[in-house]
Structure 1
Amino acid sequence: MQHKVRVWDLPTRLFHWFLAATVVALVITAKVGGNAMQWHLRLGHVMLALLLFRLVWGVVGGHWSRFASFVHSPTRLWRHLRGQASEETAGHSPLGALSVFALLAVLLAQVGSGLLSDDEISFSGPLVRFVSGEWVGLATWFHSDLGQYLLIGLVALHLLAIGYYVLVRRRTLVRPMLHGDKLLTRQAPASRDDVAARTGAAVVAVLSAALAWWISGLGAG
């Protein structure tokens, strides 16, 4: 018997697709350069707002969106890697949870280093004036060299994992991120996704956007 469970609440799904679109746009504007760098800067502030939202939602959001649900024991991770997992996972698998943490960490590092970067031509982060030239140089190097390739690599691995699950495991990871539900062979807790939860998420989103906007204006102070 299969059980239909709401795994991904609407705020998490919207975050996921906005994040994907913003990452693509950031990579494109960075590669184009020139006048596109102004859009790159604006999109960086959008990414900051998204990440701030996700950090908060990872604490107060739906059950499977909370970071607490991402924590798996080393034994379970090892069994998962060896294909010996005895039960299906409603939320992220042990390896999937690690990939989410890694992606969020790299995105935070990219946004943080972008706020401190200065290409000495047309791009200067809003926090440059608050740190020494040595830190600006280090942040600029990370943001333009190491960080972007770490991000592209993680995104590529993410897409390969989706392809593996679809083609080999015959399980789709995309559809649940569209409508929120999964069909499971066992009962599992459902993520809260009612009007109150969505209203709370909207408040968090507005506050996150406001904080990102305030940070973006520090460079003009």
Structure 2
Amino acid sequence: MDTDESATQQKQPSRPVLVWDVPTRIFHWLVVVLVAAAYATSKLNWMDWHVRIGETLLALVLFRLLWGFFGSETARFHTFLSAPAAAWRHLRHVFHREADLQVGHNSAGGWMVVLLLALLLGETLSGLFVNNDVADDGPLTQWVPAAIANAITALHTILWDALLAAVVLHVLAIAVYAVAKGHNLLRPMVTGRKHLPERIRAPRQASVMLALLLLVASATAVTLLATYL
């Protein structure tokens, strides 16, 4: 998109549009805090707290997966997952300055969301099996042979390193969009709103009560998994 076309779009009548619902925003920032807390408790060897944080993260990830099917329009996977070729075409223009008309995740950002969720899910699930000589056994360690538990422990470390790398890449992408394209991706994730042309339809929002029910179901599942299996 050239500069004149971008300027024309920016001059079009616009209004604030709610693009990110409250449950999605709370999930996002809770994960930020809890991943940082997981890192700190691991380094400080506060393993009881580390386990609690991991189980909380697992409940949140399960909620987000459910919200990806039953939640608000911009949170649903089918609205932001596109073919890899579309993501590649988007990345080819990442340094082109243009108006921000994206309602939800762009085609590349959608795949980043899936990657982060997959790594979080793998990391928290593997944590249920972790077995080493420093921390207590994970709640499911006794259900698998020692060799498998040790392999899952190694996987837990590998996934953690991969998650940190993905987080760094995510933060760098936000910075690139801010500098190269002039897109502030953080503000909408805080306020939920962004200014869009009037011709762009506002996304449908799901009920907060539904989000609470899905969160309770997710937390219950993790509690039962960690306590009784």
User: Could you tell me how far apart the structure 1 residues matched to 2:178 and 2:58 are?
Assistant: 31
Question: What is the aligned counterpart of 2:107 among 94, 114, 130?
Answer: 94
Larger Rg, first or second structure (1 or 2): 2
Contact 1:48–1:212 (8 Å) recurs in 2: yes
User: Could you tell me how far apart the structure 1 residues matched to 2:121 and 2:209 are?
Assistant: 26
Which residue in the other structure is 1:107 paired with? Answer: 120
Which residue in the other structure is 2:91 paired with? Answer: 81
Identical pairs, percent: 36
Q: Which moved more, 1:43-52 or 1:130-139?
A: 130-139
Matched, 1:22 2:26: no
Matched, 1:5 2:8: no
13 and 191 in structure 1: CA distance in 2 versus 1, 3 angstrom threshold: farther
The residue type equivalent to 2:212 in the other structure is A
Contact 1:118–1:124 (8 Å) recurs in 2: yes
Give a deviation string over 1:14-51, Cα, whole Å, max 9, x none: 11111111111001111111xx1110001111011101
SS in 2 for 1:217: helix
Which residue in the other structure is 2:48 paired with? Answer: 38
SS in 1 for 2:181: coil
CA RMSD of aligned residues (A): 1.8
Shift of 1:75: 4.0
SS in 2 for 1:191: coil
Contact 2:88–2:108 (8 Å) recurs in 1: no
The residue type equivalent to 1:61 in the other structure is G
143 and 75 in structure 1: CA distance in 2 versus 1, 3 angstrom threshold: closer
Shift of 1:173: 0.8
The residue type equivalent to 1:105 in the other structure is A
SS in 2 for 1:184: strand
User: Could you tell me how far apart the structure 2 residues matched to 1:192 and 1:102 are?
Assistant: 24
1:38-187 correspondence to structure 2 within 5 Å: 38-83=48-93, 88-144=101-157, 146-185=158-197, 186-187=199-200
The residue type equivalent to 1:5 in the other structure is V
Which residue in the other structure is 2:9 paired with? Answer: none
Q: Which moved more, 1:44-53 or 1:165-174?
A: 165-174
Contact 2:103–2:203 (8 Å) recurs in 1: no
Q: Which moved more, 1:55-64 or 1:177-186?
A: 177-186
Give a deviation string over 1:185-221, Cα, whole Å, max 9, x none: 341342315xxx00111111112111111112135xx
Aligned length: 213
Unaligned runs of at least 5 residues, structure 1 = none
Contact 2:139–2:227 (8 Å) recurs in 1: yes
Contact 1:127–1:218 (8 Å) recurs in 2: no
